[in-house]
Amino acid sequence: MGSCRFSMFRFLCLIIILFVVSGEEVSPRIVKERISLLSFRSGVVLDPEGALESWNSSGVHVCNWTGVKCNNASDHVVQLDLSGLSLRGRISPALANLSSLLVLDLSRNFFEGHIPAELGDLLQLRQLSLSWNLLGGNIPEELGFLHHLVYLDLGSNRLAGDVPVPLFCNGSSSLEYMDLSNNSLTGEIPLKNECKLGALRFLLLWSNRLVGRVPRALANSTNLEWLDLESNMLSGELPSEIVRKMPKLQFLYLSYNDFVSHDGNTNLEPFFASLVNSSNLQELELAGNNLHGEIPPIIGDLSTNCVQIHLDENLLYGSIPSHISNLVNLTLLNLSSNLLNGTIPPELCRMGKLERVYLSNNSLSGEIPAALANISHLGLLDLSKNKLTGSIPDTFAHLSQLRRLFLYENQLSGTIPPSLGQCVNLEILDLSRNNISGTIPGEVAGLKSLKLYLNLSSNHLHGPLPLELSKMDMVLAIDLSSNNLSGTIPPQLGSCIALECLNLSGNVLEGPLPSTIGQLPYLKELDVSSNQLSGNIPQSMEASPTLKHLNFSFNRFSGNISSSGAFSSLTIDSFRGNDGLCGEIQGMPSCRRGHVIHISFILPVLLSLFATPLLCMFAYPLVLRSKFRSQTVIFNGGDLEDEDKETKDLKHPRISYRQLIEATGGFSASSLIGSGRFGRVYKGVLQDNTRIAVKMTQCPLAQLMDFCVDLSAILPLGSYSKICSDVILELIELGLVCTQNNPSTRPSMLDVASEIGSLKQYLSNPPSLVIEESYPKASAS
């Protein structure tokens, strides 16, 4: 203890010496306050902006330090304002030694720990602002004894516990501003009947855990202009009798509590009547309280200065009173998420300053009033989740300021008016889940202003995807799913460079999936399921660094799918219903090597497919004519002549395959004479009226091809290709020999049959194959 006093004495002497050296005249008061400020400075562990560097300079007077102001007459520090400097550390209790301090503002920093109770010794303090820090613990009740305090702001910290009673009852009668909002304070508002805060103008307690009723003593604060009790757990009837005595009230926020209306939560009229005398009322918020009852017509008698009304997320029923249109300066009306029914009153169009209208999630019916287009400043219109019918008014084209239009989940019909394309500031258009038909107008698809999303899903739209969609280079999401859109997906969609989500599922789109879509730099989600798309899935999808959610199911895609890149996190569910797909995804059939056929094998097969039938049908009659003329029967006038004599005397012309087709009527059933094990015999008449009979033998080509397919399943690709290629080449060579013009060089049919028999035997007993398999050699141990 003695050493500590000695160190403090040495420190004080050092300060005095510094002042003497610098030639300044030093008063004991300023030296003491300098020591207090330096003690506070030692508690600051981070000063990223270097704001307190002047505090370390011996050549700078304390009254010239950053944030410090002094009273020149008394030579006392009267103000310390270090707000918004991103300082980090703890608040030193030594500040309590600044006995003449009037203003202490440490807001918008990163101070943590507790609020020093010693600050309650600053009896001259007028303003205390510690908001937007990381302060925790309880609020010191010593702050309630700052009798000259006018401004108290402890909001947006981590304060907890009950609100100290002295803060409301023993505190300053001149207190005008109290902000304890955005903390974790509990208990009731500790304002007793004997406590009076007559000068109070601003009371902000929002976003805490306060319970109980609004204290009646608050009615004594007749100068109150701003009352914010939002987002607590306050209960009881709406404080009609309290607000009735606040004629200066401008802002009243009671949303998200457990308040009820009068007469057993059935009557809202007494509360609205209590606000009629608040002629300066600008904003009224009662959202999220489970209030019952109808919106009373007296709402139209509120101050014409009123610009915002929030009655959303309650249980209000009945119709929207037309009297509400008396609030001609209203800019925001929120009646969403209630039980309202009836039609939208056309009188709303008289509220010419409306900018945002929320009527969603009710049971409103009838058509959308075309007169709403007269609200020239309207920027947001939300009529979603109702029972509205009819078509979208063409007059909406006049809403030049409209930025967000929500009409989804209604019963709207008709077509999308092309005039919506004149809403050049539109950022969001959601017409989903209606009965809208027709095509997508190019004027709407070409809205370059769309920055957030376009949703036309779950309607009855048909026709192609408009090319104008490619103009939406700022849109983040496009959903056209569950319609009857047809045609191909235009590659120009790759111009929507900001696109993150694209859903085209549930249509009848066909053709390939453009690779340009996979090249979109920010695309995260793609759903093209339940269409008729075909071809390979582009490599750009797999290579995309941003795609996370993909759905290609129930299309006609084919090809090999890997499990790398963007596909690495996908399951079989993303590919179901595509029988042509194979690959590495679990549950997907693997791709067989035999499916890959080299061009060296395809070419002989194709040649055989065309050549062998021609040989069987064209060459065979020629062979018969030269070697076995006895099998050719000539009919002349119905009389059968001597075959040997005819074959010696007649010289038969060469008959082409086309002539055979014409003579037999294309080998029709009516020309069939008979059939047997080795073929069929047809009669025919040539152009010179010569009657002929043609025998067609059964070609072994189909059997040979079937056998080759069987071989492909058991032999290595190289051996399989070689065997089948040899056989087919032999057949082609045999056919060429059979078609030679010189009869002496053509083989007999017995030779042909023998050759084919040898080929079949070759296929049945192929030469032994040596299949080498290489394995990695074991390394030496």
What is the structure's pLDDT at 29? 74
Q: Which of 205, 201, 203, 161 is nearest to 184 (CA)?
A: 161
DSSP string of 309-321? EE--SSEEEEPPP
Domain annotation covers residue 430: yes
pLDDT reading at 22 higher than 60:
no
Domain assignment present for 691: yes
- Kindly indicate the confidence band of residue 653, based on its pLDDT and cuts at 50, 70 and 90: low
Please give the pLDDT value at position 231.
98
DSSP assignments along 717-769, one per residue: HHHHHHHHHHHHHHHHHHHHHHT-S-GGGSPPHHHHHHHHHHHHHHHHSPPP-
Q: What is the largest CA-CA distance in the chain?
A: 155
Average pLDDT rounded to a whole number, residues 62-90: 94
Rounded Cα distance, 200 and 167, in Å? 13
In a domain? residue 370: yes
Phi, psi of 649 (to 5 degrees): -90, -30
Q: Is 60 exceeded by the pLDDT of residue 767?
A: no
Range with the poorest average pLDDT among 142-146, 201-205, 731-735, 768-772 = 768-772
The answer to whether the CB of 322 falls within 8 A of the CB of 296 is no
Structure tokens at 758: 């040898």
Question: What separation, in Å, do the N-terminal and C-terminal C-alpha atoms of the chain show?
Answer: 74
The domain tally of the chain equals 2
Residue 40: CB atoms within 10 Å:
23
Q: Are strands 679-685 and 691-697 parallel, antiparallel or unpaired?
A: antiparallel
CATH number of the domain residue 396 falls in: 3.80.10.10
| Mean pLDDT lowest among 434-443, 546-555, 749-758 | 749-758
**In the listed set 636, 667, 697, which residue is the last one of a domain according to the structure?**
697
Statement: residue 758 has pLDDT above 70: no
* pLDDT band at residue 760 under the 50/70/90 scheme: low
pLDDT at 130: 98
pLDDT digits (tens, 9 = 90+) for 503-536: 999 999 999 999 999 999 999 999 999 999 999 9
Once rounded to an integer, what is the mean pLDDT over residues 437-463? 95
Asked if pLDDT for residue 712 goes beyond 90, the answer is no
In-domain check, residue 523: no
Q: What is the pLDDT of residue 199?
A: 93
Q: How confident is the model at residue 743 (pLDDT cuts 50, 70, 90)?
A: low
* pLDDT above 90: residue 305: yes
Q: For residue 666, what pLDDT band results from cuts at 50, 70 and 90?
A: confident
Give dist(CA 584, CA 57) in Å, integer: 70
Model confidence at 660, pLDDT cuts 50, 70, 90, reads: confident
What is the mean predicted confidence (pLDDT) over 383-392? 97
Q: Is the pLDDT of residue 110 over 80?
A: yes
Across the beta sheet with 315-318, the strand order is 292-294, 315-318, 339-340
End of a domain among 646, 669, 697?
697
Mark the binding-site residues, compressed into ranges.
695
Residue 573 pLDDT > 80, yes or no? yes
Decide if 570 is inside a domain.
no
Enclosing domain of residue 661:
628-697
Q: Which residues, 6+ apart, have CB-to-CB distance to 744 below 8 Å?
A: none
More confident residue, 679 or 243: 243
Give the lowest-confidence range in 432-436, 627-631, 716-720.
Answer: 627-631
Predicted pLDDT at 75 = 84
Give per-residue pLDDT as tens, 153-208: 999 999 999 999 999 887 668 899 999 999 999 999 999 888 888 999 999 999 99
Domain assignment present for residue 514? The answer is: no
> 20 or 430: whose pLDDT is higher?
430
Contact call for residues 471 and 449 (beta carbons, < 8 A): no
Strand partners, 79: 69, 103
Angle at 145 between CA 140 and CA 151, to 5 degrees: 85
pLDDT > 70: percent of the chain: 76
Residue written as token pair 């060459």: 619
pLDDT confidence of 693, banded at 50, 70, 90?
Answer: confident
Q: Virtual CA dihedral for 577, 583, 587, 592, nearest 10 degrees?
A: 100
pLDDT band at 26 (very low <50, low <70, confident <90, very high): low
Question: Model confidence at 19, in pLDDT bands (50, 70, 90)?
Answer: very low
Strand partners, 366: 388
Q: What is the mean pLDDT of the chain?
A: 83
Strand partners, 161: 185
Whether 95 maps to a domain, the answer reads no
Q: Which among 346, 323, 217, 206 is positioned nearest to 276, based on CA atoms?
A: 323
What is the Cβ-side half-sphere exposure of residue 416, based on CA atoms within 13 angstroms? 28
Q: Is 282 exposed, middle or buried (0-12, 13-18, 19+ CB in 10 A)?
A: middle
Q: pLDDT at position 500, please?
A: 96
**Residue 476 pLDDT more than 50?**
yes
**38 part of a folded domain:** no
Rounded-to-integer distance, Cα 191 and Cα 189, Å: 6
- 423 pLDDT above the threshold of 60: yes
Residue where a domain stops, chosen among 674, 697, 720: 697
Q: Is pLDDT of 2 > 90?
A: no
Question: pTM of the predicted model, to two decimals?
Answer: 0.73
pLDDT at 646 over 90: no
- In CATH, what number is assigned to the domain containing residue 682? 3.30.200.20
The contacts of residue 448 (CB under 8 Å, 6+ apart) are: 471, 472, 473, 474
Scanning 268-311, the segments in alpha helix (DSSP H) are: 269-274
- Segment among 108-122, 646-660, 729-743 with least mean pLDDT: 729-743
pLDDT at 748: 59
pLDDT at 756 (0 to 100): 60
CA pair distance 576, 554, nearest whole angstrom? 6
Residues making up the annotated binding site for ATP are 695
